[in-house]
Structure 1
Amino acid sequence: MKIAVLADGCDYRSKVTEKFVDARWLLIVDMDQQRICEAIEKNEGDTENKDLAKNIIDRDCESVICGEINKVPFEILADQGVTRSLGNGLIVADAVRCEYMLELITDYIGGQGCSSESHHTGTCDCEHDACN
C-alpha cells in the first residue's frame, strides 16, 4: 500500500503543509517497506495543483495526507477514490504512523462537505461522486 504526503520538505522530519497548495514536495510512502520510495518536487507552474493530484493517482496511492484542499485537486482525488486525511502541521513520520486516526477531508476549501457521521452510515445528501 502506498500513501502520499504533501510536505514542506523531502524526508520524514518534514512537516505536512497547512494547505495542499502550499506543498513543496509530494512524498510517496511504501507502507509495506515503511520507507519513502519517491520524493517529487512540486512543479511551480502547476498553479491548480493538477500535477500533484495526478501524480498521486499515477502512483496508485490509496490515501493522501495533507492540509486543506482546493476544488480542482480535491475532485481529481475524490473521483479516483483516494482517501484524504487531514494531517497539517504534523511531522511526516507521525502523520504516516497515525494515518488511520486522522480526520477525513470530506470536501474542498469553500465546499459544502459531508459530516463524518454521514460517511459512517453510508447516507449523504451532497452531490459529490466520492460520497455517493
Structure 2
Amino acid sequence: MLAENTRYGFHEIKIKSGENIREIINAYVVEHKITHAFIAGAVGSVSDMVFNAPDSSSFPIKPVSTPVSGPAEVLAFSGEVIPKEEMDETMKRIYHDDPYDLFIHVHAAVGVAGANVYGGALLEGKVFRALSVYILPINPIK
C-alpha cells in the first residue's frame, strides 16, 4: 500500500495499482502526522480520473467535473496538504463533502491515447500500474 523513502526532506509515497490516489495520500500524511505539505510531483500511470475546473470566468466559481476513463500517463501533478479549517470559504463550498481528514488539494494533467490531455483539480483517480508521489512537509506560516 505505502512505502516511505525520505531524501532531502521529501517523502516518496508509492501507490499500487488499483489504489485510490487521494485516499492513500491522506492515509500517509495522517499516519506520519504531516498536517501541511507541498505536493511537488508524481510519476506514473493513472486511471478513472475525475477533474474539476471552473465553468466560466465569473464568480462565484461553479466547477464542472470531467471524467477521464481508462489509463493515462501523469504529465503534471502538484498541490498542497492543509487542515480543512485553513481552506478559504470558496474551497470549503466547493469541497464541502470531501471525505478525507485533511484537504488533499492536487492539480494534475494526464495524457491519454491519441496525445489528448486532460486536467484540473483532482477529485478522484486510481493508479493504473504504479505511481510515486513526492511531498515535502512544510511548517505553516503563523
Q: TM-score, normalised by structure 2?
A: 0.26
More strand by share: 2
Bigger relative contact order, structure 1 or 2 (CA pairs below 8 A, ≥6 apart): 2
Larger Cα-atom Rg: 2
More helix by share: 1
